[in-house]
Amino acid sequence: MKLGLIPILFLTAALSACSSVAVKPWQRGILARADMQLDAHPIQSQFDDHIYFSKEAASGGRGFGGGGCGCN
Amino acid sequence: MTKQRKIRVETAHGGDLAGRFEAMASPCEVLADGAGESEIAELTALVAEEVWRIERHWSRYLQGNVVDRINTAQGKAVKVDDETSRFLNYAQHLYEMSDGLFDVTSGVLRGVWRFDGSDNIPKPEEVEAVLPLVGWSIVSWKPPLLQMKPGMQIDFGGIGKEYAVDRALGLAALKTERPILVNCGGDLAANGPHLDGQPWVVGIDSHIPGTATPVIHLLRGGVASSGDAHRFLLKDGVRYPHILNPKTGWPVVGGPRVVTVAGSICTEAGVLSTLALLHGPQADEFLKELEADSQVIW
Amino acid sequence: MQLIEQRPENRRRLHLAMATLGLLGLAAERPAAADDGTKNWTFDSGLLYYKEGGGRVQAIEPVVNAAIDLGNDRTLTAGFVIDSLSGATPNGAAPAAAPQTFAQPSGKGKTYTIAPGATPLDHTFEDTRFAVDLGYLFPLSSNGHLGVGLSGSKEYDFTSVGANTHYTLDLNQKNTTLSAGAAFEYDSSDPVGGIPLPLTMMVNAVKAGGSSKSKNVKDILLGVTQVLGPRGLLQFNYSLSLSNGYETDPYKILSVVDSNAVPQYYVYEKRPDTRVKNALFAEYKRFVFDRDVVDFSYRYFTDSWGVRAHTADLSYRWNFAQRKSLEPSVRFYTQTAADFYHAALFTGQDATVDNASADPRLGAFNAWTGGLRYGQVLANGHELSVRVEYYKQFGKVAGVPQQAATALSQFNLAPDLSAINVSFGYRFNW
């Protein structure tokens, strides 16, 4: 009975050291949800940035601080 | 039957939730990417119902179901339901495609072969006696009527689990947008990768001590394994796996220990892995000829 | 094992695949011989309707963003914005006891008159802005991605062009992401009637400062995002913005008043020609109750004009049904006035100050926003959303010249501002 070499073509990334905050590649289900993205509503963020840039002195933080509009 | 007919939701792999239940003598598991507890419970209930339904429908041990009626028909024709009819058509196709290697009437050989790891191989006469009761070619199948000789038996076990996995996945997929994976004892299917595009990571436990566990990265499709890890006979240094050639009545010797195949559907993968084992030493050639995405452990 | 979908050439295999599908009797997986029909385009569109109270600014803004997945982790993006503004905006002058008449910025002799005690508002604002941006994102090295982009916008008195780049690096199995970005923008102002000489008297809106002025803005952004377990993440960002050139608003003026708060004349405002802005930002997102998402963020802002601001934002997304969500949100904002902010100038002050502006945007105020967003995924997978928000600024009086303080105190020098906005969103893949 031969026991040939078993071609393992992929090594999972699971072989790295664990830490309590690290999330394994197969655990990313919840983090991949659309509503868990840092910018979950890009269009609405764009509207907000524009409104607040025109009405307030502060800008930036979430993204670039410049602006890009001549809003009066 | 003293099976545990409950589903439970547990944390799997240290993070995501999995719905679990027992069916077809295997631990079954349902994963749905990003789902919360109530959604997983709902999907698992749906999956479990379908798997248990198929188990009851085609179980060898339940009195009154279609398999029982067929196996106790004593030569009379039996009218079968639509689902069984589709299965028998499929069985016929597989019989023809495999030149008779895949035969759903081969179950009756279990009477003479007891694969308990001992060296009790039957005498040739015992096998000869049962052989006339094996053979799809001697069955009369005119849908929806099935007529077999008295003493013949139908066995849906060969691909029953894979079929159940596919059906259950299909039903669950109608209920949710999330990618789902259904896994019954290593026969599994998924309808899409994780929401972030990453594949499901599945380890195939060959149950053979001393061999590493191959790991599969599945984006979508089905995976099935066939093997002889537990059930075999060993005599004079020759291993007799529980894979029986229906034409000779004897086990196929010299073949691989485990064949794992991936396909677009679990049932298809199951057929290919079973057929590969039946081809014994020619398993690799068979898999190559049929362009099967596979991994073989010799 | 590769386990990617393949199309078997072998006829037997194909027959097997087809027969298996027939067995399953379900609208199941795509057959082995089918094409991989993944959708590469994503369209995200929106419409904003914004309206301030008291007859002030109104805006309608349609937006379309498109993203194309080119495969191999490369994406092309394009965005278009049309922003149509109308309504009244403060011109910077202070209220007075007698009616005030101002020349319209066009300098063609038309005027408008403000009632006694009312905050002077210029009603002649009507502007439509068009903006375009393009971006390309691609992998660079095994864990990095680089994005490059161009942007441009045009309204009748203002043009802007810019370029930006952004690099992200995934570490620690994508649990930690570092990001760094830089942007450059060139803005050119071509105001109606020409550029006024700063801090000079406004006489029938005749302007002697030339016809156009420009400024450039350089931005840097540094950030780190850290995953905190399978259900949460935290982001920290620092942004720095350096602006040089014409920072003044060519349309805004200040009242120069006597000790009885009677306006003697009006002067055009003047702002420094550089501005350095810093912002520190943190955001925390967590998946809770196995169903909902809570999001909290805080930003601290300071700049070289003396403005200091705090922003805190909290939202709770309640996924009450499988494809539906309701998301209430609340935002608090507070800012201090710029160093050169003046509600009005006292006679003679206009000759001594370096810079002066009465633009309410540079004044002191608190602001609250309350919002509610409803989102739904339709049967065809498209996503629909609608959000309503109410914004209110509570003005705080600042920059009042001491000599006229008593007299000016009879007026509301820091009026509140309220606005409602409704925005619709529609997102789909194609």
| Greatest mean pLDDT among B189-193, C6-10, C148-152 | C148-152
Tokens read off for C181: 């970005």
pLDDT value at C186 more than 90: yes
Please give the mean pLDDT across all residues of chain C: 88
CA distances from C166 to C76, C175, C416 (A): 14, 19, 38
List, as one string, the DSSP characters of C211-242: S-EEEEEEEEEEEEEEE-STTEEEEEEEEEEE
Measure the CA–CA gap between B159 and B146, rounded to whole angstroms: 19
Cβ under 8 Å to C: B residues 245-274: 260, 262-265, 267-268, 271-272
Is residue B218 within 8 A of residue B263, CB to CB? The reply is no
Which amino acid belongs to residue B12?
Answer: A
User: Model confidence at B2, in pLDDT bands (50, 70, 90)?
Assistant: very low
Confidence class for position A19, pLDDT limits 50, 70, 90: very low
Q: Is the pTM of this model over 0.90?
A: no
**B15, B216, B297 ranked by CB distance to A27: nearest:** B15
Contact B214, B256 (CB under 8 A): no
Asked if B167 lies within 8 A of C13 by C-beta distance, the reply is no
CB pairs under 8 A between B and C: 112
Q: What is the dihedral of CA B238, B243, B248, B249, to 10 degrees?
A: 90
Yes or no, beta carbons of C3 and B291 under 8 Å apart: no
pLDDT at C226 over 90: yes
Tell me whether residues B93 and C15 touch, CB distance under 8 A.
yes
Domain boundaries, chain C: 11-28+45-429
Of residues B33, B198, B295, nearest to A25 (C-beta): B198
Report the CATH architecture of C11-28+45-429: Beta Barrel (2.40)
In residues, how long is chain B? 298
Q: Which residues contact B259 (CB under 8 A, 6 or more apart)?
A: B225, B226, B227, B273, B276, B277, B283, B287, B294, B295, B296, B297
Q: Using an 8 Å Cβ cutoff, are C253 and C276 in contact?
A: no
Bridge partners for C370 per DSSP: C330, C390
Q: Say whether pLDDT at C234 is over 80.
A: yes
Tokens of C218: 């350089």
Q: Can you give the pLDDT at residue C110?
A: 83
Strands annotated E in C119-198 = 121-140, 144-155, 158-171, 176-189
The conformational region for residue C426 under phi > 0 = left, psi -120 to 50 = alpha, else beta, is: beta
Residue C309 touches chain A, beta carbons under 8 Å: yes
Q: Which of B219-228, B264-273, C206-215, C403-412 has the highest mean pLDDT?
A: C403-412
The DSSP bridge partners found for residue C241 are C219, C277
Confidence check: pLDDT of C429 > 90: no
How far is residue C319's CA from residue C156's CA, in Å, rounded to a whole number?
44
Ranges C27-31, C137-141, C298-302, C382-386, most confident: C298-302
Confidence of residue C95 (pLDDT cuts 50, 70, 90): very high
For C17, which residue in chain B has the nearest alpha carbon?
B268
Q: Is C369 in a helix, a strand, or coil?
A: strand
Query: Looking at residue C4, what is its pLDDT?
Result: 41
Are C281 and A61 in contact by the 8 Å Cβ rule? The answer is: yes
Predicted pLDDT of residue C304: 97
The single residue listed with the structure tokens 């067929």 is B70
Whether the bond into B144 is cis, omega within 30 of 0: yes
Contact B113, B123 (CB under 8 A): no
Is residue B4 scored above 60 in pLDDT? Answer: no
Unique residue bearing structure tokens 């499901």: B200
Q: How many CB atoms lie within 10 A of CB B236?
A: 6
Q: pLDDT (tens digit, 9 = 90+) per residue, C276-305? A: 999 999 999 999 998 899 999 999 999 999
Is the model's pLDDT at B182 over the cut of 80?
yes
**Structure confidence by residue, pLDDT tens digits, B104-125:** 888 888 778 877 767 778 888 8
CA–CA distance, B188 with B225 (Å, rounded to integer): 9
Cβ atoms within 10 Å of B60's Cβ, excluding its own: 16
Domain ranges of chain B: 1-60+159-192, 66-157
Spell out which residues of chain A touch residue C303, defining contact as CB-CB under 8 Å: 57-58
Please answer yes or no on whether A56 and C226 come within 8 Å at the CB atom: no
pLDDT in tens, C112-170: 899 999 999 988 778 899 999 999 999 998 789 999 999 999 988 889 999 999 999 98
Kindly report the three-state secondary structure assignment for every residue of C92-131.
CCCCCCCCEEEECCCCCCCEEEECCCCCCEEEEEEEEEEE
pLDDT at B261: 85
Total residues found in chain A within this entry: 72
Rounded mean pLDDT, B250-268: 84
Q: Do C16 and B167 touch (CB under 8 A)?
A: no
Rounded CA gap, B159 and C286, in Å?
43
Nearest CA in chain B to C4: B219
ipTM over 0.85 threshold: yes
pLDDT digits (tens, 9 = 90+) for B63-77: 888 888 888 888 899
Least confident range from B260-274, C210-224, C263-277: namely B260-274
Q: Give Cβ neighbours of residue C321 (< 8 Å, ≥ 6 apart).
A: none
Interchain CB distance below 8 Å, A7 and B200: no
Q: Tell me what pLDDT residue C340 has.
A: 96
Chain B within 8 Å of A11 (Cβ-Cβ)?
yes
The radius of gyration computed from the CA coordinates of chain A, to the nearest angstrom, equals 23
CA terminus-to-terminus distance, chain C: 31
All residues of chain A having their beta carbon less than 8 Å from the beta carbon of residue B194 are 26, 28-29, 32
Chain C residue closest in CA terms to B193: C4
Q: Please state, in angstroms and rounded to a whole number, the distance separating the CA atoms of residues C323 and C397.
A: 47
Higher pLDDT, B23 or C297: C297
The encoded tokens of residue C394 equal 């509570």
Rounded CA separation C343/C359 (Å): 8
Which fold does the domain B66-157 belong to in CATH?
Answer: T-fold (1.10.3980)
Q: Which of B17, B171, B290 sits opposite C13 (nearest CB)?
A: B290
pLDDT at C3 over 80: no
Residue with tokens 């006339």: B132
Instruction: Name the residue facing C29 among B39, B83, B264 (closest C-beta).
Output: B264
User: A55 Cβ partners below 8 Å, 6+ apart?
Assistant: C361, C367, C391, C393, C417, C419
Q: Which amino acid is at C93?
A: A
Please tell me which of the candidates A7, A26, A29 has its beta carbon nearest to residue B195.
Answer: A29
Residue B9 pLDDT > 70: yes
> Residue C37's pLDDT is what?
47
Q: How close does chain C come to B249, measured CA to CA in Å?
A: 25
Which residues of C, range 359-388, sit inside 8 Å of A by Cβ? Answer: 361-362, 367, 373, 385, 387
CA dihedral C257, C262, C266, C267 (to 10 degrees): 0
Pair of tokens at residue C323 = 């494809």
Model confidence at A17: pLDDT above 60: no
Q: How much is the pLDDT for C47?
A: 97
Q: Which chains touch C (3 or more CB pairs under 8 A)?
A: A, B
Chains with at least 3 CB pairs less than 8 angstroms from chain A: B, C
Report residue B163: phi and psi, to 5°.
Answer: -60, -45
